[in-house]
Amino acid sequence: MALPTESLHAAPFRPSLVNDRAVPLSSLAPGCRATVTDVDASTPEGHRLLELGFLPETEIRVVRRAPLGDPIAFYLRGGQICLRRSEAARIRVLETDPESDT
């Protein structure tokens, strides 16, 4: 049986833009636009995503997927970057309104 105090210390508070509408970047279809809310940087792979420019509040567009779904090409910060599906799953995004695309 768990002690009541264990649940208080299970996860430290970490302020971020993550909310209930955020989804993994890997789940978006080609042509979708989104804004990065959070990146799981708990591993060296996650730190590398931050170095590549996947920072909170960055706007991203899904360009295309390979025929078998891996890798996925993204347009951000003036260039294209391809990520594996497992890497893109570490990035949480909020999909932007398609009507705002002009």
**Mean pLDDT per segment of 10 residues, for the chain of length 102 residues?**
44 48 91 94 90 92 91 94 93 80 50
Given this model, what pLDDT does residue 83 score? 94
Question: Cα angle at 22 between 21 and 28, to 5 degrees?
Answer: 110
Given this model, what pLDDT does residue 15 score? 44
Distance, CA of 77 to CA of 8 (rounded, Å):
39
Given this model, what pLDDT does residue 55 score? 92
Given this model, what pLDDT does residue 97 score? 73
Given this model, what pLDDT does residue 69 score? 80
Distance, CA of 93 to CA of 16 (rounded, Å):
12
Find the length of the chain: 102
> Using CA of residue 42, residue 45, residue 49, residue 52, what is the dihedral sign?
positive
Coil, helix or strand for 29?
coil
The first and second tokens of residue 1, run together, are 């049986």
Given this model, what pLDDT does residue 68 score? 87
